[in-house]
């Protein structure tokens, strides 16, 4: 059988490591397979590849973008990456000069800060986005920002970053053994995730909050266990983690926190948790938060952005309020969900179906399939 050329290229990170965006792409690929869409992933986040549909361009990603602008073959392109003006300008260029169908996904509210603080960035981003065939926004605030750049509303589509997990018993084997050893020795279990990063001079993912939370809860929950799954393990990350470990040791709760930097999927860890905590000081749609709610895990998150229904909110960067909200969850009757919570199978929501249909339709050149349709979160 003659091999078909891909209709769609997906430009973004592919795991490992398992971050929110890379996990989204894995699930997107699985759903596109079901639709029969022929695609190729250009992995700009790591060296992971499969020699068939996933090709790593990580080591030369900047040169790749320039090369792809002139020689890329796929008629449709989906840019699924962190806010990057160069990638968007390349997308705008191939849409204008080469007639490509280009979709860009905006998943981070940092973009709002960039265009409100810099006139030239606002002009540059606006120019690029107005050339795109379609723009996927993960929340209403980002969609409103795109509208303010004079982008045609027909091109703006609002879909959550979350795609339902397709769980498998083998997923547990992808989690480091020390995570399960730690979970067996501690109760209750609080799960969190993120990476070492800062925003406006503060810990973006609130890793410092997790140390304070453990110290506050240990007197009443001596076996409390907090599992923090981290994406990335660079030298600068390790320096900050050493600082957190030192603080934890000083507060005598070092044995109550596990900083897991081993690559692995997060969903099995969530399924074991009594509470999920998302203490970020900025955010997009937060896939892991929607995963937790999907699995029935009580979830406490900062009020920095609009959160999904069912989330328990605490005041951003307020450790006392975070502690109070976590205590509310832990004080409920024991044994309510954790031991009987299944790792659920895939269930496509109407919104997920619309999202996949849009990507599929644009890949096949059906440009009018989603005009004049309003999508809400």
CATH number of 8-164+348-363: 3.40.50.2000
CA distance 233 to 230: 8
Query: What six digits make up the tokens of 244?
Result: 């957190």
Tell me whether the CATH fold assigned to 8-164+348-363 matches the one assigned to 169-340.
Answer: yes
Site of tokens 């792809």 = 68
The topology (CATH level 3) of 169-340 is: Rossmann fold (3.40.50)
d(CA 105, CA 156): 10
In the chain, domain spans = 8-164+348-363, 169-340
pLDDT string in tens for the chain (377-residue length): 445 678 999 999 998 888 888 889 999 999 999 889 999 999 998 999 987 899 999 999 889 988 999 999 999 999 997 656 677 788 899 999 999 999 999 887 666 666 777 788 888 888 889 999 999 998 888 899 899 999 999 999 998 888 887 667 778 888 999 999 999 999 999 999 999 998 888 999 999 999 999 999 999 999 999 999 998 767 778 899 999 999 999 999 999 999 999 888 899 999 899 999 999 998 888 889 999 998 889 999 999 988 999 999 999 999 999 999 999 999 975 544 454 444 444 445 778 888 999 999 988 887 665 554 545 44
Q: What global pTM score does this model have?
A: 0.82
The answer to whether 12 and 77 have CB atoms below 8 angstroms apart is no
Would you say 158 and 375 are in contact if contact means Cβ atoms under 8 Å apart?
yes
Q: What's the pLDDT score for residue 344? A: 46
What's residue 110's pLDDT? 66
């Amino acid at each position: 059988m003659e091999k078909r050329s891909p209709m769609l290229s997906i430009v973004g990170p592919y795991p490992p490591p398992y971050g929110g965006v890379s996990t989204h792409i894995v699930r997107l690929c699985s759903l596109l397979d079901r639709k029969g869409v022929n695609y190729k992933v250009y992995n700009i986040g790591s060296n992971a590849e499969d020699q068939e549909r996933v090709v790593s361009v990580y080591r030369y990603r900047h040169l790749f973008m320039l090369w792809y602008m002139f020689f890329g073959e796929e008629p449709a392109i989906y840019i699924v990456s962190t806010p990057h003006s160069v990638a968007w300008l390349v997308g705008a260029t191939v849409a204008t000069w080469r007639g490509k169908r280009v979709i860009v996904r905006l998943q981070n509210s940092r973009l709002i800060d960039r265009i409100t603080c810099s006139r030239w960035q606002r002009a540059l981003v606006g120019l690029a986005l107005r050339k795109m065939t379609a723009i996927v926004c993960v929340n209403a605030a980002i969609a409103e920002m795109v509208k303010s750049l004079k982008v045609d509303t027909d091109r703006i589509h609002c879909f959550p970053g979350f795609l339902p997990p397709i769980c498998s018993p083998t997923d547990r084997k992808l989690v480091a053994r020390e995570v399960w050893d730690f979970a067996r020795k501690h109760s209750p279990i609080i799960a969190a995730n993120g990476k070492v990063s800062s925003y406006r001079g503060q810990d973006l993912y609130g890793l410092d909050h997790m140390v304070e939370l453990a110290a506050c809860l240990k007197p009443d929950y001596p076996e409390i266990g907090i599992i923090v799954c981290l994406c990335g393990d660079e030298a600068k990350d390790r320096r900050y983690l050493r600082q957190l470990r030192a603080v934890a040791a000083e507060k005598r709760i070092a044995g109550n926190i596990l900083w897991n930097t081993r690559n692995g999927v997060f969903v099995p860890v969530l399924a074991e948790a009594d509470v999920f905590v998302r203490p970020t000081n900025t955010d997009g749609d937060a896939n892991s938060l929607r995963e937790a709610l999907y699995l029935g895990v009580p979830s406490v998150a900062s009020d920095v952005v609009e959160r999904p229904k069912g989330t328990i909110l605490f005041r951003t960067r307020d450790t006392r309020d975070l502690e109070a909200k976590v205590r509310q969850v832990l004080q409920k009757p024991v044994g309510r969900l954790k031991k009987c919570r299944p790792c659920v199978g895939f269930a496509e929501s109407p919104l997920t179906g619309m999202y996949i249909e849009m990507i599929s339709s644009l890949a096949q050149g059906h440009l009018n399939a989603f005009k004049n349709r309003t999508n809400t979160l």
